[in-house]
């Protein structure tokens, strides 16, 4: 079996926010696919502090991983070994490379078990006040300035044309630059939701405003995990 295990969005989130079943699944196996070993060990310790770190067998699965890189783990799974799949934050396989092993499990008729947990993308959307029936997630916007401007204006046009909410994100150290681009390239009356530090009991920041109002009050987003939503 493959357990799709959620991680916290903020280290400051209380353990009471999560289902006890997460710990149960972590205790069932020592074998995990992880995007980052250091983060994965912290997540395991958060949910199951009594689990021995020395017993963990961690297999790297990031955006560069191919099936050939995790052949040893796949062979173990074919023999019946249960594995957990851990994201760096939130749910695995959403803005996360874990779908590679999930796809393989389906091809090999290995059971996949999803476990409920937080998704910054969904939490940002439901907190925005925008259309939650029809929406599109775009991941990261282009780095190239010209391409980024085109994409921002395209997303704005999609909101006006279809009413679909448009969700995207940026690497935290580039958040302030993205905010500047959004306030520069979007129309004054376009509505933008910024959801930052989601689930952090002290520093969570979620606001929906028009661009003209955002221009009056610039938030500090440098190195802060954030999700951006355009909608109406």
Q: What is the mean pLDDT of residues 64-92?
A: 93
Res. 109 pLDDT band, cuts 50 70 90: very high
pLDDT above 90 for 184: yes
How is domain 120-231 classified at the CATH fold level?
3.30.950
pLDDT above 90 for 67: no
Distance, in Å, from the CA atom of 5 to the CA atom of 72, rounded to the nearest integer, reads 21
Distance, in Å, from the CA atom of 87 to the CA atom of 110, rounded to the nearest integer, reads 20
Query: In the Cβ-directed half-sphere of 153, how many Cα atoms lie within 13 Å?
Result: 9
Q: What are phi and psi of 87, to 5 degrees?
A: -85, 165
In angstroms, how far is CA 203 from the centroid of its own chain?
18
pLDDT at 66: 87
Q: Where along the chain do its domains lie?
A: 2-114, 120-231
The CA distances from residue 23 to 12, 107, 139, 200, in Å, are 18, 28, 29, 21
pLDDT at 148: 96
One fold for both 2-114 and 120-231?
A: no
Strand partners, 32: 58, 84
Q: What pLDDT, in 10s, does the model give residues 213-223?
A: 999 999 999 99
Q: What are phi and psi of 220, to 5 degrees?
A: -90, 110
Distance, in Å, from the CA atom of 104 to the CA atom of 99, rounded to the nearest integer, reads 8
Q: What is the mean pLDDT of residues 24-51?
A: 96
pLDDT at 97: 87
Distance, in Å, from the CA atom of 101 to the CA atom of 76, rounded to the nearest integer, reads 13
Q: What pLDDT, in 10s, does the model give residues 121-173?
A: 999 999 999 999 999 999 999 999 999 999 999 999 999 999 999 999 999 99
Distance, in Å, from the CA atom of 17 to the CA atom of 226, rounded to the nearest integer, reads 20
Res. 96 pLDDT band, cuts 50 70 90: confident
Q: How far separated are the first and last CA of the chain, in Å rounded?
A: 42
Find the length of the chain: 232
155 three-class SS: helix
Contact 135, 166 (CB under 8 A): yes
pLDDT at 58: 97
Distance, in Å, from the CA atom of 63 to the CA atom of 140, rounded to the nearest integer, reads 14
17 three-class SS: helix
Q: Are strands 191-196 and 205-210 parallel, antiparallel or unpaired?
A: antiparallel
Distance, in Å, from the CA atom of 60 to the CA atom of 106, rounded to the nearest integer, reads 20
How is domain 2-114 classified at the CATH fold level?
Cobalt-precorrin-4 Transmethylase; domain 1 (3.40.1010)
pLDDT at 157: 97
pLDDT above 90 for 54: yes
């Amino acid at each position: 079996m493959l357990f799709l295990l959620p991680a916290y969005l903020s280290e400051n989130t209380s353990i009471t926010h999560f289902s006890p079943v997460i710990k149960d699944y972590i205790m069932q196996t020592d074998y995990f696919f992880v995007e980052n070993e250091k983060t994965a060990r912290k997540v395991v310790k958060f949910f199951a502090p009594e689990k021995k770190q020395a017993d963990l067998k961690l297999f790297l699965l990031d955006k560069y991983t191919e099936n050939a890189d995790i052949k040893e783990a796949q062979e173990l799974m074919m023999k019946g070994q249960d594995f957990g799949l851990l994201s760096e934050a939130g749910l695995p396989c959403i803005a996360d490379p874990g779908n590679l092993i999930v796809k393989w499990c389906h091809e090999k008729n290995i059971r996949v078990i999803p476990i409920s947990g937080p998704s910054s993308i969904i939490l940002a959307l439901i907190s925005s006040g925008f259309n939650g029936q029809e929406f599109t997630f775009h991941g990261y916007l282009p780095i190239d300035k010209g391409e980024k401007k085109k994409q921002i204006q395209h997303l704005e046009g999609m909101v006006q044309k279809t009413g679909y909410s448009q969700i995207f994100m940026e690497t935290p150290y580039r958040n302030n630059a993205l905010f500047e681009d959004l306030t520069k390239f979007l129309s004054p009356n376009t509505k933008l939701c910024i959801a930052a530090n989601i689930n952090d009991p002290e520093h969570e920041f979620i606001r929906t405003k028009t661009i003209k109002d955002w221009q009056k009050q610039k938030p500090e987003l440098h190195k802060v995990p954030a999700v951006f939503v355009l909608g109406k």
